[in-house]
């Protein structure tokens, strides 16, 4: 039965044992992300120094897809530059909504485990919630 759904082990493990679901002290950025269709409701926190994401976390609640995706995203982007994070977010969004190359899929590491969600239009919003919220943080900080 398992192989019929996109609830693979990577997703369920990040959902049950998230590494980044906790508050952090003095984040440089905090942004609320809401997906009304599932009732997913997260706050994404980032610490940024000299253009590098030095720490990050998320809080809130939601479905396994939204929670695991945010956790995987933070695994990927902590320690990288904002430009690299933007690049990964761009690949992730294209993976979910369109298509990407095998090389790009490799760059996404564990986030590639969410690829099958592109076939589930009702769950796309859950998968991109954390990523969309991160992009909003970057967009806002550029405007300032």
Interface residue list for another protein (CB under 8 A): 1-2, 4-7, 9, 12-13, 15-16, 37-39, 61-65, 120, 122-123, 126
Nearer to another protein, 3 or 26 (CB): 3
Shortest distance, CB of residue 63 to another protein, whole angstroms?
4
For 21, which DSSP code? Answer: B
Nearer to another protein, 127 or 137 (CB): 127
**For residues 56 and 104, what is the distance between their CA atoms, to the nearest angstrom?**
23
Q: CA of 54: how far to CAs of 45, 47, 60, 69, 95, in Å?
A: 11, 6, 21, 19, 26
Shortest distance, CB of residue 16 to another protein, whole angstroms?
5
How many residues are present in the chain? 144
Give the position of tokens 């995987």. Answer: 72
Shortest distance, CB of residue 64 to another protein, whole angstroms?
5
Token pair of 121 as six digits: 């239009």
Shortest distance, CB of residue 1 to another protein, whole angstroms?
6
For 81, which DSSP code? Answer: B
Nearer to another protein, 7 or 84 (CB): 7
Nearer to another protein, 55 or 71 (CB): 71
């Amino acid at each position: 039965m398992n192989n019929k759904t996109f609830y693979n082990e990577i997703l369920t493990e990040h959902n049950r044992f998230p590494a980044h679901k906790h508050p952090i002290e003095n984040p440089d950025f905090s942004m609320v992300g809401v997906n009304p269709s599932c009732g997913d409701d997260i706050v994404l926190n980032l610490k940024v120094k000299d253009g590098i994401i030095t720490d990050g976390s998320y809080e809130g609640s939601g479905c396994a897809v939204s929670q695991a995706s945010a956790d995987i995203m933070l695994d990927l982007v902590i320690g990288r530059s904002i430009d690299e994070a933007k690049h990964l977010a761009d690949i992730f969004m294209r993976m979910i909504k369109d298509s990407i190359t095998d090389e790009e899929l490799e760059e996404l590491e564990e986030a590639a485990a969410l690829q099958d969600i592109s076939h589930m239009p009702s769950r796309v919003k859950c998968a991109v919630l954390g990523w969309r919220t991160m992009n909003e943080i970057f967009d806002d900080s550029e405007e300032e």
